[in-house]
Structure 1
């Protein structure tokens, strides 16, 4: 495919001379570091190595991720959660008060929030009531103003993966940067589009350690793309955007892929159990199929069910205000005990509704 992302980069970003940190100017092995104004004595903690700045480009971690996923290190950007990559992509390619992004509601809300923060117009191409991509609507909204297209797959809050042919159609016909957010793809790994980054220079795939890896607290997101796009993200990122503790924990996590896969199997088994038991409840109208670690559930009285669960100490997500999600709650798949408590509480709510 003939596509050069450099042509979409903002002119001020092209002209920008990036900040260079002390660790940018030196790489390799050394015994004495007197270049970054660090406290040579270290932090006042036992066995602390907190006084040194981390690798600003996370080379060891990228090599480990590259080996794990079968990509090249130069195709990887690491950030403070996927949100950082989203924000940087908007700042690289979106001209404030001029350009636009395309989103497909109902979907993850941070695409719109980040666009608005960057003073970019948000154009919507709503999904069908069955939560499928409407190509005719997308085609009508892909104006010259649109620079980036966001696709969440598996989608949040609906849980469905978009067919690869829809993504390929976008990549080949839009002429835009297409960002596929695969935060939940570990729950449906055979449906990833990551391998397409070698064929399509306008594709960016986002992933995270927050979901399947159970490590939301370390705030580590990944972006995979053509090295040209990765170059622009690295040019404008903060000098040490991924802290050393996060890098260390991520390296340790990647030594435990088998344990992570065991947890995945438990979550998928619990998702099946939860879906089956939710569908037995008379107060439930529909449980949507899901490729993620959550279920979108349509209730007869969703808001009342939400409050009843909350009063019982069980917190789910109210999605009733989102497009096509009337009377819907989004329920994360928990442990076996947590899921049983949820069903028991909903059974109590069902009895309460029947007695009124």
Structure 2
């Protein structure tokens, strides 16, 4: 008998999330995973590596709370934002009974985490203006426990309208959590929804050090929520979710000096993004450049497959979203360093 048959039936049916690393590719310019082009330098003290780490390292919690403008009891640190997403589903959704709601096209891990935990997924697609369909979501609140929104949305880059979000939060009181994933908010910090946390107990915000902080490799994310929600998540999270070296690096990244370096990185990425967007808008094969609010640009080419192949032949690995609803011929380009952006521009300038 195949050992596969011993696995849960739901797991046997699952298709793994196709991360950039799993998809892979052949090339030398990797612009497919929305990673930063650098990480900075950090020091490590190895004296306590023989000890289990704190579940919630105070130096990290306090530093992130100060950075985000919330109280320490409103912060949970986890293994990337992805663990925060999964913890919310495991904490609030009964397998085989409850559902989450997503607004495709959006980040794929909301659905994967739900399906892995035996939780069904309700889809309410984005509107023609790529906003959440707030009327459609509100009409289905009695069917779901958690609504996941992404702002800036991955992969389209669009921001959630705050007026619509407030309307949803008022409708969702006592009925469902509303989660706003702000993994890319450092690239447009004035659009964060964190100022609503104290007014709405049902609002949860997901953050990460993977993007603007350039620390995707340490897997460190944050959940911002009411103390009540954080207390519930702490019942479910693993006893030692944050390795000591990760906590040390995170605390350094969140220091005054670390924040200065992060903001310099953001300024450079935003500058390169603006330059690339300008060049793309003048290109004959470009039909649309999507909202430029993250560390990436989603671009609709004519046709996308031909441009993707040209980039690949030049050793430039991008992310193809043509199979996603409403994103035919769309390719996502991570904003890398100047040399990597020059490589992209050189391919764009080639004879058609």
TM-score by length of 1: 0.83
Task: Tell me the equivalent position of 2:269.
Answer: 267
Task: Tell me the equivalent position of 1:177.
Answer: 177
Counterpart secondary structure, 2:331: strand
- CA-to-aligned-CA distance 1:292-334 (integer Å, 9 cap, x gap): 1111101001012112211211011101111111111011111
TM-aligned CA deviation for residue 289 of structure 1: 2.2
TM-aligned CA deviation for residue 46 of structure 1: 10
Q: Which runs of 5+ in 1 are unaligned?
A: 1-44
Task: Tell me the equivalent position of 1:70.
Answer: 69
Task: Tell me the equivalent position of 1:155.
Answer: 153
Counterpart secondary structure, 2:247: helix
Measure the CA separation in 2 of the matches of 1:218 and 1:264: 19
Superposed, 1:1-356 pairs within 5 Å as: 48-142=47-141, 144-174=142-172, 175-255=175-255, 256-348=258-350, 351=351, 353=352
Measure the CA separation in 2 of the matches of 1:49 and 1:76: 24
Measure the CA separation in 2 of the matches of 1:336 and 1:259: 17
Residues paired across the two proteins, number:
305
- CA-to-aligned-CA distance 1:61-94 (integer Å, 9 cap, x gap): 1111122222111100100011111111101110
Measure the CA separation in 1 of the matches of 2:233 and 2:196: 19
TM-aligned CA deviation for residue 287 of structure 1: 0.8
- After superposition, the CA RMSD in angstroms is 1.4
TM-score by length of 2: 0.84
Is the 2:79–2:242 contact (alpha carbons within 8 Å) kept by the matching residues of 1? yes
TM-aligned CA deviation for residue 129 of structure 1: 2.6
Measure the CA separation in 1 of the matches of 2:298 and 2:336: 14
Larger Rg: 1
TM-aligned CA deviation for residue 272 of structure 1: 0.5
Is the 2:131–2:161 contact (alpha carbons within 8 Å) kept by the matching residues of 1? no
Counterpart secondary structure, 2:315: coil
More RCO (CA 8 Å, sep 6+): 2
Task: Tell me the equivalent position of 2:39.
Answer: none
Is the 1:80–1:221 contact (alpha carbons within 8 Å) kept by the matching residues of 2? yes
Runs of 4+ in 1 over 6 A off after TM superposition: none
TM-aligned CA deviation for residue 224 of structure 1: 0.4
Measure the CA separation in 2 of the matches of 1:83 and 1:46: 27
Counterpart secondary structure, 2:336: coil
- CA-to-aligned-CA distance 1:172-204 (integer Å, 9 cap, x gap): 112310000000000010000112111100010
Q: Which moved more, 1:288-297 or 1:210-219?
A: 288-297
Measure the CA separation in 1 of the matches of 2:220 and 2:164: 28
Is the 1:124–1:141 contact (alpha carbons within 8 Å) kept by the matching residues of 2? no
Measure the CA separation in 2 of the matches of 1:221 and 1:138: 27
Is the 2:100–2:122 contact (alpha carbons within 8 Å) kept by the matching residues of 1? yes
Task: Tell me the equivalent position of 1:23.
Answer: none
